[in-house]
Chain A
């Protein structure tokens, strides 16, 4: 009954078109990309490089996982990369040995982590409140939240530390980001839990339903407002987790963490097959999308292409994915009208 299984059933009705749909398609795309880069670039297939690809994609995995919830609800969260910066600064303001509120205090790390997760979740929930209760367009709400969070983060750092970044974070905290041994399982585990929530939990199924048709869900007794708030809060929480990872890995708390990731976050989810129109989506698909973008970025860098060219290529890939999403929806409607006459 979960959407990631249902491609088999759909294949029976729609034939080869379904190949461009779902997990199997993304697996094939990833295998093809891997094979192409591995053959063309000896450097690419070295274990050290592959490990780098995986580890460096973790923050993106977390952000895109949170984004998937929001996209499935037929919304969009443009604020999560900006929240990374704000959350990072909050952590630094608690933990930094220079200016931190709990500098060198034994409770600094647990309190700091808690503050970070709470900040992200609260900001996400505020987004959700505006979308669900105040009926504001998600695009507008999260765009302004992004501006607000970005500005607030810079202002806080300047007000407290008169610098751009905060250093001297506790050693225990920094250990979270070393070598991928801690943050790897942490991020993958969090994404797995998210996958189960979205695919198998009551809230997850409700989220799919209201993404497909919010009015039908509402009239069937689904607590639509609460579910929407939940989706945005989860997106905020995963932004906070990404902030923890980036802050620990880069050993600084900075308002600029996460900022360049916005296009990749939405791109990864869309490449995976999550629909911008809502209803269809899966964290597993998104993970495939993240892996694909990470391989693409790494492989193109190894080809000595400039950053600008890489960005252009990524943009084209994401555009193609959005086009594919549009086609999938079109196929579904046209095949439906044919099936209508057959089945009726």
Chain B
């Protein structure tokens, strides 16, 4: 703590404490726009962050917060509009430019190397050299590391290997690294998600100190309580637009929630009209044996005591913020991960084994990242569609693939999912658009005639037209008696598609809404960390 606040700068003034005067923001975005593959992500965003103040950025998943910060950090260029840094024009082309300009970024997933020491991690971008030679001056590195660690209040030997540190300590190391680059602007993206209460307090104290020292802080978080406690200014982003920007004192938790979600989206999600009204009428008499019964499934650190039932013909939604454990739960249900305790039954019989055993029982799983683990990108459309059901197209003794049967099967299913005609059967799926790729994944599983289908973010990166097709296919499958679990971060998608919605928060089920009780505010309230939910007055 040797360098701890010797200068004692002026306490949190409403504007920058330096000579520039109050009017010049440390960072200003001026009418910044950006789109990805034709979909606008930021629309003419104008926003300022001031030195000596904390600007909190809130909004739903996909509202554009990360893109806005990535533009500042030099990861993504803006398409139109301008950035100013301390009043001067600023157009970073690479993250390196941004770093040189004094922008420091503490990412949600920490960018540290567990195999190196703390001191090495602190100097990844600028190892001190010995007289300009390509040898690292270890003594200088250690001394500087100790000073930086002191600034964040972390009392560790600089030579400690990083993998001995807790997540909270690593977070502090990341901030120390940002300080080491003489940062003027510090961006923190969801810094508290994996911190304990004590670590969180420590972080807040540090952030307050840094603010008082004159840094401009941009703080991105879903935790509205933290936001209201820490921030001086708040900006709410929705669909790439700033819908509110003002002093934190002028906001309440409830107002933030309604600002984050308040929009009519019927036209964006045409499938909202689709779900049949009979779903609730059927329920009393036609339940029968549930498709899936999940009882008390727990895995330490991932999910806790998950209990729910998926009925025949039911489209069950699962809502939650990123990191709530939804995808992990899906993978436990599909046998990819194991659970420490709990029982899963399908059609009345216990479910065991890995994915292969589950597929044989009639289960199917559309993962949230089709490029990573859903598709063989360089294999053909045919090979990808047939991946789960090729055995059914084989002549029995030698298990040789019956080419004509495969061709007929693929032709039939591609009609059913309305795969683009441009997608040739021999073509590599890598060359298809996101929507057509997802249709290939869906076609694969529809061929398997699943009794239980788990869809994880089924329309991520899928264009609107293909979305409607996917919603229709999923609904048809449910109508034929399958039970379907749809995981999504998009509230409207779930409200439009599902018969019932479960909400997950921090690894636990935190709410369940029947079709007639669907309500965006209540869903979001149940998904947000506990105290923020209480602030909105909604049920838990």
Contact = CB atoms under 8 A, between A and B. Distances in A.
A340 B379 contact: no
A1 B365 contact: no
Contacts of A341: 37
Given A1-B383, A333-B430, A213 B400 contact: no
Contacts of B444: 220
A71 to B, nearest CB: 15
Contacts of A8: 426
Contact of A200 (B400, B422, B424): B400
Given A201-B400, A202-B390, A279-B376, A208 B383 contact: yes
B47 interface: no
A221 B355 contact: yes
Nearest to A344: B433
Given A13-B427, A202-B390, A344-B433, A215 B373 contact: yes
Contacts of A223: 356
B400 A343 contact: no
A329 to B, nearest CB: 8
B172 interface: no
A219 B420 contact: no
Interface residues of B, number: 52
Nearest to B426: A9
A222 B356 contact: yes
B328 to A, nearest CB: 14
Nearest to A226: B356
Most chain A C-beta atoms within 10 Å of own C-beta, residue among B425, B430, B444 = B430
Contacts of A280: 378
Nearest to B399: A202
Contacts of A205: 383, 386, 390, 401
A343 B433 contact: yes
B258 to A, nearest CB: 35
Contacts of A200: 400-401, 403
Contacts of A220: 355, 359, 387-388, 444
A217 interface: yes
Contacts of B343: none
A196 interface: yes
A101 to B, nearest CB: 35
A340 B433 contact: yes
Interface in A246-287: 279-280
B382 to A, nearest CB: 5
Nearest to A7: B426
B380 interface: yes
B514 interface: no
B431 A344 contact: no
A174 to B, nearest CB: 33
Contacts of B428: 10, 332, 336
B387 A216 contact: yes
Contact of B376 (A13, A196, A216, A344): A216
Interface in A1-46: 1, 5-6, 8-10, 12-13
A9 B424 contact: yes
A114 B431 CA distance: 48
A8 B424 CA distance: 12
B74 to A, nearest CB: 22
B399 A201 contact: yes
A302 interface: no
Nearest to A333: B430
A343 B401 contact: no
A218 interface: yes
Q: Size band of the A side of the interface?
A: 35 or more
Contacts of B463: 344
Given A209-B383, A333-B430, A221 B399 contact: no
B391 interface: yes
A153 B374 CA distance: 44
A339 interface: yes
Nearest to B380: A6
Nearest to B387: A220
B390 A219 contact: no
B336 interface: yes
Contacts of A10: 426-428
A203 interface: yes
B400 A196 contact: yes
Interface in A301-337: 329, 332-333, 335-336
B367 interface: yes
Nearest to B466: A344
A1 B406 contact: yes
Contacts of B436: 343
A192 interface: no
Contacts of B431: 13, 335-336, 339-340, 343
Contacts of B372: 215
Given A1-B407, A13-B431, A202-B401, A212 B426 contact: no
B387 A332 contact: no
Contact of A203 (B355, B374, B387, B399): B399
A206 interface: yes
Nearest to A203: B399
A222 B356 CA distance: 6
A205 B376 CA distance: 12
Nearest to B444: A220
B468 interface: no
B360 A221 contact: yes
B219 interface: no
Interface in A173-232: 196, 200-203, 205-206, 208-209, 212-213, 215-223
B376 A1 contact: no
B375 A213 contact: yes
B487 to A, nearest CB: 15
Contacts of A13: 424, 427, 431
B394 interface: yes
Interface of A: 1, 5-6, 8-10, 12-13, 196, 200-203, 205-206, 208-209, 212-213, 215-223, 279-280, 329, 332-333, 335-336, 339-341, 343-344
13 contacts: A1-B401, A8-B426, A13-B427, A213-B377, A219-B336, A219-B373, A219-B374, A220-B359, A220-B444, A279-B378, A333-B430, A336-B377, A336-B431
Given A212-B378, A220-B355, A341-B37, 12 more contacts: A1-B407, A9-B424, A9-B425, A10-B428, A213-B375, A216-B376, A219-B355, A219-B374, A279-B379, A333-B430, A336-B430, A343-B422
Interface of B: 37, 334, 336, 354-356, 358-360, 365, 367, 372-380, 382-383, 386-388, 390-391, 394, 398-401, 403, 406-407, 420, 422-428, 430-436, 444, 463
The 10 closest A-B pairs by CB, nearest first: A221-B359, A9-B426, A212-B376, A344-B433, A215-B373, A339-B431, A336-B430, A202-B399, A220-B387, A213-B376
